[in-house]
Amino acid sequence: MRRVGVTGRGLVVALPYMWLLLFFVVPFVIVLKISFSDIDLAIPPYKPLLEWVGKNSLAIKLNFNNYAFLFTDRLYVNAFLNSIKVAFISTVLCLAVGYPMAYGIARAKPAVRNLLLLLVILPFWTSLLLRVYAWIGLLKANGVINNVLLWLGLIHEPLTMLYTPFAMYIGIVYSYLPFFILPLYANLEKMDWQLLEAAEDLGCRPWQAFYKITLPLSRNGILAGSMLVFIPAVGEFVIPALLGGPNALMIGRVLWDEFFSNRAWPVASAVAILLLILLVPFMMWYQSVQARESAGAR
Amino acid sequence: MNYKSSYFILTCLGFGFAFLYVPILSMVVFSFNASKLVTVWDAANSPTLKWYYALLNNEEVLDAAWISLKIAVINASGSVILGTLAGFGLARFSQFRGRFTLNAMTTAPLVMPEVITGLSLLLLFVALEQLIGWPAGRGITTMTIGHMTFSMAYVTVIVNSRLATFDTALEEAAMDLGARPLKVFFVITLPIIFPAILSGWLLAFTLSWDDLVISSFTSGPGSSTLPMVVFSKVRLGVSPEINVLATITITVVTLMIAGVSLWMSRMAKLDKAAA
């Protein structure tokens, strides 16, 4: 495609480029700007940064109070720390559940493999909201799990599962599992399994061979899957709101409440900026892992 | 391959798929339950279709579904155009100014927490309205723009990876024979990436149809989408009508996925036969 002229190339990428610049990058600049403005009882509920003072002087007023507020109130610090903890534990759980599944799918016969892969993808196509909702029906006091356990006689009174951290973890792992399995599967599928046979011929036990060969070779798949779970999970709103109960302090929820309930747009913007600063290193890491994966594939 | 899966792996697969499918199947089963308690089976009056009638006569749900459908179709079509251009550019032009930025801008929306995207889009729309008077208020237009911004990133990835598995030989040959770049794109490249475009369209449709967070931030009065209505109902607890909605969604998605993958495997066989 070298012969497509420079102008031709420019035209092809210009449209998506401009679109993303306007609707994805510029908005962050505006969020940054509003995170420095004062809250105002007006529509929209913030004061302008730039103001004409007198005739010929334009004053910029940067207000750091929103940030100072976030660091002085324990609620916000705790929400940040708790979100990182929840996202991290969920990622580890996805690894524990997803790795054996991705491995099993990658080693299945080709015909079975495609069917299993389809079964992993299918839930991802049905609404996230509805799948999270399904867990309310399973976990609540007179829900399916409690009814089955009572009927079996294993418990005598219903367990409290809904609106607990447990429910939230289940919801996150359940919703994000396909995102973990798919990149890991794509990585394992390219694996040369003869390496394992060679290792076993040379006296390696299966577990040793897995630990010394499969695991290091699938490192990029694990990393890509983990990032796809961890990064969005830190800012997750729907799952903690529906399954976590009122005490589930997640930063995505705090942002939502500041914005919709308190109408504190500048505070919500400051939360968004801090969250972004926290997550950008992970996003860059994800991109470099992706670049390595596709360089290895060609 | 003469490998046999160990019992450990088979057990993990079994439990893993049970974990993925028990919640989905439970919604389907209880959508036929007569009891208003949803998860307590009313053996005397079930199975019943009464909640199906209730849902199909629920004006609020139907109006929201109509709005969601409009947004999803416009979003899918727009995302496919933008995403195909971006994916084609990234896969076929090895160097151009802004390549790195474009790559970053199409990767980031895939992992960006939705609350951040939603908030930043809303603040952009508010600022634009103050500056140039557009968009006047918020509603279907602003929601569609929001959906397209993250959906096109998915389409880009799909188109890009489809093109990465095809070398440029066919396109080069056509150009050697004197075809102009635009003609090469429509006659050679487009048929090659058509399956990717189709999956991209369907995925963009689904992402939009499901989206709650970005819609909530960018919607205006009187333009509630289906997920927004569902969310406000579900916050109050389980509801039999939501189980019905879930069952309908699952059925449609399953039929669609099965149909598309059958069609694609047939196309792949034809490709092989032709080669």
Q: What is the pLDDT of residues B173-207, one digit of tens each?
A: 888 888 888 888 888 888 888 989 998 999 999 99
Residue A57 backbone dihedrals phi, psi, to 5 degrees: -120, 135
In chain B, which residues have their Cβ closer than 8 Å to the Cβ of A193? 1, 3
8-state DSSP, A211: I
Question: How far is A267 from A36, CA to CA, in rounded Å?
Answer: 9
A 50-89 near B (Cβ less than 8 A): none
- Residue B139, domain member (yes or no): yes
Contact check, Cβ <8 Å, A126/B24: yes
- Cβ(B32)–Cβ(B50) below 8 Å: no
Question: How far is A111 from B10, CA to CA, in rounded Å?
Answer: 16
A260 in contact with chain B, both atoms CB, cutoff 8 A: yes
- Cβ(A130)–Cβ(B249) below 8 Å: yes
Question: How far is A256 from A242, CA to CA, in rounded Å?
Answer: 13
Contact check, Cβ <8 Å, A13/B93: yes
A296 in contact with chain B, both atoms CB, cutoff 8 A: no
- Residue B251, domain member (yes or no): yes
Average pLDDT over residues B141-154: 95
Query: What pLDDT does residue A298 have?
Result: 45
Which residue shows structure tokens 């307590």?
A: B40
- Whole-angstrom CA distances from A253 to A234, A258, B106, B166 are 10, 9, 26, 44
Helical packing angle, A165-189 and A265-297, nearest 10°: 30
Which residues have C-beta within 8 Å of that of residue A111, sequence separation ≥ 6? none
Which residue shows structure tokens 């369209």?
A: B201
One DSSP character per residue, B13-72 reads: HHHHHHHHHHHHHHHHHHTT---TTSSS--TTT-S--HHHHHHHT-HHHHHHHHHHHHHH
Q: For chain B, give me the number of helices (H) and strands (E)? A: 12, 0
Domain boundaries defined on chain A:
67-297
Give A53's strand partners: A57
Whether the ipTM is more than 0.85: the answer is: yes
Whichever domain contains B196, its CATH number is 1.10.3720.10
Give A59's strand partners: A51
What does DSSP say about strands A50-53 and A57-60: parallel, antiparallel, or unpaired?
Answer: antiparallel
pLDDT band at B5 (very low <50, low <70, confident <90, very high): low
- Residue B26, domain member (yes or no): no
pLDDT at B1 over 50: no
Question: How far is A134 from B61, CA to CA, in rounded Å?
Answer: 19
pLDDT band at B4 (very low <50, low <70, confident <90, very high): low
Q: Which of A27, A291, A178 is nearest to B149 (CA)?
A: A27
In a 13 Å sphere around the CA of A179, the CA atoms on its Cβ side amount to: 21
Q: Which of B9, B26, B164 sits opposite A103 (nearest CB)?
A: B9
- Residue B47, domain member (yes or no): no
A162 in contact with chain B, both atoms CB, cutoff 8 A: no
- Residue B44, domain member (yes or no): no
In chain B, which residues have their Cβ closer than 8 Å to the Cβ of A137? 23, 26-27, 30, 38-39, 238, 243
Any long-range contacts for A70-75 (C-beta under 8 Å, 24+ apart)?
A70/A267, A70/A270, A70/A271, A70/A274, A75/A249, A75/A254
Q: Which of A17, A121, A260 sits opposite B102 (nearest CB)?
A: A17
Most confident of A90-99, B1-10, B218-227: A90-99
Query: What pLDDT does residue A101 have?
Result: 94
Which residue shows structure tokens 């919709």?
A: A260
CA dihedral (A290, A295, A298, B3) positive or negative: negative
Instruction: Name the more confident of B135 and B17.
Output: B17
pLDDT band at B231 (very low <50, low <70, confident <90, very high): very high
- Residue B8, domain member (yes or no): no
At B88-125, the pLDDT tens digits run 999 888 777 788 889 889 988 988 999 999 999 999 99
Give A16's strand partners: none
Contact check, Cβ <8 Å, B85/A23: no
In chain A, which residues have their Cβ closer than 8 Å to the Cβ of B42? none
- Cβ(B95)–Cβ(A245) below 8 Å: no
CB atoms within 10 A of CB A285: 15
Token pair, residue B220, equals: 């205006």
Nearest CA to CA, how far is B47 from chain A (Å)? 17
Select from B21, B111, B161, B212 the residue whose CB has the most chain A CBs within 10 Å, as the one to mutate to test that interface: B111
In chain B, which residues have their Cβ closer than 8 Å to the Cβ of A24? 105, 108-109, 117, 149
End-to-end alpha-carbon separation of chain B, Å?
25
- Quick check: helix, strand or coil at residue B197? helix
A242 in contact with chain B, both atoms CB, cutoff 8 A: yes
Host H or E run for residue B108: helix B99-111
Question: How far is A276 from B112, CA to CA, in rounded Å?
Answer: 9
Answer whether the bond into residue B240 is a cis peptide, omega within 30°: no
Select from A129, A228, A258 the residue whose CB has the most chain B CBs within 10 Å, as the one to mutate to test that interface: A129
pLDDT at B58 over 80: yes
Query: What pLDDT does residue A5 have?
Result: 61
Question: How far is A60 from A49, CA to CA, in rounded Å?
Answer: 6
pLDDT at B275 over 80: no
The total of structural domains in chain B comes to 1
In chain A, which residues have their Cβ closer than 8 Å to the Cβ of B98? 13, 17
- Residue B208, domain member (yes or no): yes
Q: Which of A229, A123, A126 is nearest to B111 (CA)?
A: A229
Q: Which of A24, A235, A269 sits opposite B123 (nearest CB)?
A: A269
Mind listing the pLDDT tens digit of every residue in chain A (298 residues)?
455 566 677 778 899 999 999 999 999 999 999 898 887 777 777 877 777 777 777 777 788 888 988 888 888 999 999 999 999 999 999 999 999 999 999 988 888 888 899 899 888 888 889 999 999 989 988 888 888 899 898 888 888 889 999 999 999 999 999 999 999 999 998 888 888 888 888 888 878 888 888 888 899 999 999 999 999 999 999 999 999 877 788 999 999 999 998 888 899 999 999 999 999 999 999 988 888 877 765 4
pLDDT at B137 over 90: no
Question: How far is A279 from A127, CA to CA, in rounded Å?
Answer: 26
Q: Which of B11, B23, B13, B143 is nearest to B78 (CA)?
A: B143
Query: What pLDDT does residue A256 have?
Result: 92
Which residue shows structure tokens 């991802």?
A: A124
Residue A50 backbone dihedrals phi, psi, to 5 degrees: -100, 135
Question: How far is A113 from B271, CA to CA, in rounded Å?
Answer: 21
Task: Please provide the average confidence, as pLDDT, over all residues in chain B.
Answer: 88
Nearest CA to CA, how far is B210 from chain A (Å)? 5
Nearest CA to CA, how far is B66 from chain A (Å)? 17
Model confidence, pTM: 0.90
Contact check, Cβ <8 Å, A107/B3: yes
Query: What pLDDT does residue B48 have?
Result: 84
In chain B, which residues have their Cβ closer than 8 Å to the Cβ of A130? 27, 230, 242, 245-246, 249
Residue numbers of the domain that contains B114: 59-274
One DSSP character per residue, A26-80 reads: HHHHHHHHHTTSPB-SSSSSB--SEEEETTTEEEE----HHHHHHHHSHHHHHHH
Contact check, Cβ <8 Å, B105/A255: no
Give A52's strand partners: A58
Residue type, B186: F
Q: Which residue in chain A is spatially nearest to B93 when comparing CA positions? A: A1
- Residue B11, domain member (yes or no): no
Q: For domain A67-297, is the CATH number 1.10.3720.10?
A: yes
